[in-house]
């Protein structure tokens, strides 16, 4: 999914302009990257986490869904 589509969905659900939603999305991405640069994972509760893998690559691991 591309950034404009994500920003549009955030704007709709959050009752804000697309520009505000895009700014918030940029902030979240910046925080994720800053965390990874410090060598720490970036957790997204309910979704999963970003971790730095070998070779400087970034890996996303989805949270496992509870079995029931």
6-28: pLDDT as tens digits: 999 999 999 999 999 999 999 99
When pLDDT is cut at 50, 70 and 90, the band that residue 32 belongs to is very high
Q: What pLDDT was estimated at residue 68? A: 62
Q: Percent of the chain scored above 90 by pLDDT?
A: 71
**Domain assignments of the chain as residue spans, ordered by start:** 3-62
Q: What pLDDT was estimated at residue 64? A: 83
User: Domain spanning 3-62: which CATH class is it, in words?
Assistant: few secondary structures
Question: Would you say 25 and 15 are in contact if contact means Cβ atoms under 8 Å apart?
Answer: no
Q: Is the pLDDT of residue 2 over 80?
A: yes
User: What CA–CA distances, in Å, run from 55 to 4, 24, 44, 52?
Assistant: 29, 29, 23, 9
Burial (0-12, 13-18, 19+ Cβ within 10 Å), 7: buried
């Amino acid at each position: 999914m591309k950034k404009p589509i994500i920003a549009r969905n955030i704007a709709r659900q959050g009752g804000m302009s697309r520009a505000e939603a895009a700014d918030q999305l940029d902030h979240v991405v910046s925080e994720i990257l800053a965390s990874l640069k410090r060598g720490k994972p970036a957790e997204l509760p309910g979704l999963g986490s970003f971790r730095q893998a070998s070779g400087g690559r970034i890996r996303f691991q989805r949270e496992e869904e509870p079995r029931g």
